[in-house]
Structure 1
Amino acid sequence: MSEQISNNYLFHNLSLTKNTVGTAEELIEGSNERIEEEEVMVASWFLYAGFSKGYENHVEKSQKIVRQFLHDQDYGNDKVERIVLLVGAAWNSEAPNTIEEGTIKDIRTFRYASNNLSELLELERMEMDNLGQNPPSQNQWYKNHIEILRTDHRYYTVYALENWQAQKEDNIISLIKKAAKIVKTKQKEKLKVKLKNQSPERAIQSMYRTQLRNHLKLSDIADTKANILLSVNAIIISLLLANLIPKLGVPSNSYLIYPTVIFVVFSIASIIMSVLATRPKIENKAVVEGDIQAKNANHLFFGNFHALESQAFKEKIRDIIESKETIYDSLTLDLYYLGKVLQSKYQLLRWTYTIFMVGIILSVLAFAIALHYFGMEQEIIDAVTPKPKV
């Protein structure tokens, strides 16, 4: 048992075997009946030996181990077979035929009269789970053993009836209480989950969480749009500075000045509007003492509390969390002012994209007109102007 059994055996192990042997000694010493002590003691040592070979058919495996061991010790064949029968009798549900069979049955089931029966049952259930035996739920496990204790199990020896029966009956009551408590706890948990799912608080919190997340995403989208326009206009101005503007100093290209100015002016206007849309606002000067006293100020926004002293800020937070109403009011104000910020950003973005679109259209038209009329005129002038002789 000490060398061959796995650590996954939390119940059927060497410790249980030693306790079983100790119980056998106690029962034999306390019994006034005539018992073949040696046979009972040897059988007690080998009751759980088969578990070292696996859960399946462990009784037969125990009988095989004890038979082999005793034959190796040159034990008498008659005694060997009686001990083998005792090991089997300890586990079967039939009534005992001899006092020794009744004794070994009581020894094996001594745990039913243990003061810590529920802990032992839990160890056995955990062991079954470790070994892939698919144990029942804790509540069903208790119910199964309550049924065993009430209807299937009984003690046969006088000593067990006098010393263990009372504790066994107390254990039945204790298991019934534990099973009822488990059922009650599960019902409470189900009810709690049901009430939680049906509670408007959960829906309200989900609404605030979703709306705040959506507002922040919209703010990120606005900043991204503004950054796109900044990048595009910066590229346009860089190309103009590098390629077109140096050519405007040539008199023959003077007709391109007005289209270029239109293009540059609208690009610069788009850049300015994009910067305004993304420029952070650190403080809110619109928050006045009257708003604060009327609890219309959003102290969850850093721009409204960054100038406060730490003690004043803590007092404001205490005022907010003093009730659900003030918490929800603060979250509502936070949503409201986030919406106001988004309104300002998207209005600026709308004007920025409009200015950029109008600038592109006017610039293209201006370049087309300049090239068509003034460009052709310049070509005619160049054609009729006599070239200087070299």
Structure 2
Amino acid sequence: MNEKLSKIREYAFEILTKYENLNPYNNLNRLFRIENYIKKIIEKDNLIESDKDNLFAALYFLLIEQAESTSTDLDFEKETIKINEVINLFQEKFKMKIDDMVKTIAVQALPINVPITIEAKILVDAIIMDFADDNCKGRIKLMYEQILLHDFNVSRTSWYDTIIPIIENYKAHTDYAKDNVKPQIEKLVKNLKKEKKEVVHVNEKIIQKELNISDDEIQKLKKEIAKTKDRDDRGIQTLFRTTSKNHYTLNQMVDSKARIMITVNSIILSLVLGGIIGNFDESKILKYLPIFIFSLVNLVSITFAIIAITPSKTQGNFSEEDIRSKKGNLLYFGNFHDMHYRDFEWGFLQLLNDKNYLYTSMIRDYYYQAQGLNKKYKYIRVSLYTFIIGLGFAILMQAVFRGLDYIW
């Protein structure tokens, strides 16, 4: 290994180590594996005419670009530009000229391009070999975790839609890859398609259970969704924003009414008790009966008003299984206040990266807001009716006792 290639490799080590927390897949272990794959392909196919230095340099710059990437989507056009930027930055930093062929090899190795040079063909086959052994599914899982850590907007179902075409469209370029890699990749694609069907099936069952709808209704719903797949999400966002605002306003109204009932009943209760204490005449106990009844009514009314504004008790956390099965609602603080931050962060990223999960959570949150609001309205209604009926009854009793006093 010459001095320049050694420096590039050393720089790749530095960058991959620096960003290892964000890249559970694209790390030093991956670098070592692909290096070995390249050597194996060259040895098995006897490709001694290939430019090994430029080939390995292209690999290192490709891994550096992927480690430093801040993109939030799989845009290989941007990746092409970033590879050039990474190479130019290296040249400026270390005052070393990089052969233009290195850029060519690295760019041709991207999934959107067709490799022309023998070096690019070897690199493409070596990269895909990472998914041609018994650890392939584990590495795909690590890759998915990595894109989530990079804030990619990709749900689990969408991830299958992304990774399957990339692997399925792979074409082996070397004899070794045609005989040993391609068959394994075809087997992997079949397994991934099967897994995707299972995930979609589970999601459908969850929707059926939550909404209590039949298989026929699910199929009809999917057809309707397919018709509107490319619609603007702003209408949906406006709908949720408006309904949430309406709920907030209604909630404020209930709380305001409850506070009024508590204040009015407290003042009346204070005045009544203040008037009785010290002036109580046991010989005329009947005349105090309406006052006692109204005082009791005040207490009942206050009690229901307080219950109306008392927060409901919540569990405060969700398990990982709840999040994976899309049962956890992370939009309400009462559901996550006892969770560890890292668990909450992971769960919320799952929510943000799955549009269906996000909208389902918003619908669920909207529904349970309505349930809570309905309970508040019931209690405040009891408080108001108790006050009105009790007041009327106390006045009626007072009038009756006054009439009796007048007759006697």
TM-score by length of 1: 0.50
- SS of the equivalent of 2:62 reads coil
Verify the 8 A CA contact 1:96 1:102 in the aligned structure 2.
Answer: yes
**Paired residues of 1:229 and 1:271 also in contact (CA < 8 A):** no
Q: Give 1:173 shift.
A: 0.8
* Kept in 1: contact 2:105–2:117 (CA 8 A): no
Q: 2:197 aligns with which of 170, 180, 205?
A: 180
Whether 2:66 is the aligned partner of 1:51: answer yes
Contact 1:143 1:176 in 2 (8 A): no
The one of 121, 124, 132 aligned to 2:140: 121
> What letter matches 2:45 in structure 1?
S
Q: Aligned partners of 1:238, 1:71: CA distance in 2, in Å?
A: 94
Is the Cα–Cα contact under 8 Å of residues 229 and 270 in structure 1 kept in the other structure? Answer: no
Preserved CA contact (<8 Å) 2:272 2:291: no
1:84 equivalent in alignment to 2:119: no
Deviation at 1:170, TM superposition (A): 1.1
Q: What is the CA–CA distance in structure 1 between the aligned matches of 2:167 and 2:22, rounded to whole Å?
A: 27
Inter-CA distance 119–3: structure 2 relative to 1 (3 Å threshold):
closer
Q: Which moved more, 1:83-92 or 1:115-124?
A: 115-124
**CA distance in 1: counterparts of 2:135 and 2:199, whole angstroms:** 18
Query: CA shift at 1:169, angstroms?
Result: 1.1
Find the aligned partners of 2:65 and 2:100 in 1 and give their Cα distance.
17
Residues 1-150 of structure 1: pairs in structure 2 closer than 5 A = 1-2=15-16, 4-5=18-19, 7-34=21-48, 35-55=50-70, 57-66=78-87, 69=90, 80-91=99-110, 93-135=112-154, 137-150=155-168
Q: Deviation of residue 73 (structure 1)?
A: 7.3
The SS at the match of 1:48 is: helix
Q: 1:27 to 1:354 in 2, by over 3 A?
A: same
* Deviation of the 1:154 alpha carbon: 0.9
The one-letter amino acid of 1:161's match is K
Q: Distance in 2 between matches of 1:118 and 1:17?
A: 18
Give the CA deviation at 1:55. 4.1
Quick one: structure 1 residues 268 and 169, their matched pair in 2 at CA, closer, same or farther if it must change by over 3 Å? same
RMSD: 4.6
Question: How much has 1:114 moved relative to structure 2?
Answer: 4.2
Identity %: 19
Alignment of 1:224-243 (within 5 A): 232=272, 235-236=275-276, 238-239=278-279
Question: Does the C-alpha gap of structure 1 residues 158 and 189 become closer, same or farther in structure 2, counting only changes over 3 Å?
Answer: same
Structure 2 alignment gaps of length 5 or more: 1-14, 72-77, 215-260, 299-388
CA contact (8 A) 1:48 1:62 kept: no
Q: Is the contact between residue 290 and residue 398 of structure 2 (CA under 8 Å) also seen in structure 1?
A: yes
Contact kept? 2:107, 2:113, Cα under 8 Å = no
Given residue 232 of structure 1, which amino acid in structure 2 is its aligned partner?
A: V
Q: Is the 8 A contact 2:108 2:116 kept in 1?
A: no
Distance 1:12 1:193, change over 3 A: same
Letter of the 2:399 partner, please give it: M
From the superposition, tell whether residues 37 and 265 of structure 1 become closer, same or farther in structure 2 (CA, over 3 Å): closer
CA contact (8 A) 2:16 2:28 kept: yes
The one-letter code matched in structure 1 to 2:207 is K
Q: Using the alignment, how far apart are the partners of 1:122 and 1:228 within structure 2? A: 67
Q: Give the letter aligned to residue 80 of structure 2.
A: V
Aligned to 2:311: none
Counterpart residue type for residue 46 of structure 1? F
Q: 1:17 to 1:131 in 2, by over 3 A?
A: same
Q: Which moved more, 1:158-167 or 1:117-126?
A: 117-126
Deviation string, structure 1 residues 308-363 (Cα, Å, up to 9, x no partner) = xxxxxxxxxxxxxxxxxxxxxxxxxxxxxxxxxxxxxxx99998664433234555
Alignment of 1:323-338 (within 5 A): none
Cα distance in structure 2, aligned partners of 1:117 and 1:180: 19
Secondary structure in structure 2 of the residue aligned to 1:164: helix
SS in 2 for 1:41: helix
Alpha-carbon separation, structure 2, partners of 1:229 and 1:271: 10
Between the aligned partners of 2:142 and 2:112, the Cα distance in structure 1 is 23
Which one-letter code corresponds to 1:193 in the other structure? E
Paired with 1:236 and 1:266, the residues of 2 have a C-alpha distance of 13
Asked if 2 retains the 8 angstrom alpha-carbon contact of 1:25 and 1:41, the reply is no
Q: Deviations over 1:101-137 (max 9, x none)?
A: 21011122223424344443344344334334422x3
User: What CA distance in whole angstroms lies between the structure 2 residues aligned with 1:265 and 1:359?
Assistant: 11
The CA distance in 2 between the partners of 1:361 and 1:6, in whole Å, is 90
Aligned to 1:336: none
Change beyond 3 A, Cα 1:106–1:67: farther
How far apart, CA to CA, are the structure 1 residues paired with 2:123 and 2:194?
A: 30
Does the CA contact (< 8 Å) of 1:27 and 1:159 recur in 2? yes
Query: How far apart, in 2, do the equivalents of 1:143 and 1:31 lie?
Result: 33
- Distance in 2, matches of 1:25 and 1:111, equals 14
Matched, 1:266 2:286: yes
Tell me which residue corresponds to 2:401: 359
Q: Matched residue of 2:26: which SS? A: coil
| SS of match in other structure, 1:47 | helix
SS at match of 1:97: coil
Q: How far did 1:174 drift?
A: 0.4
Alignment map for 1:190-229 (pairs within 5 Å)? 190-195=207-212
Q: Which has the higher contact order (CA 8 A, sep 6+)?
A: 2
CA deviations 1:167-196 (Å, max 9, x no partner) are: 111101101101110111112112112228
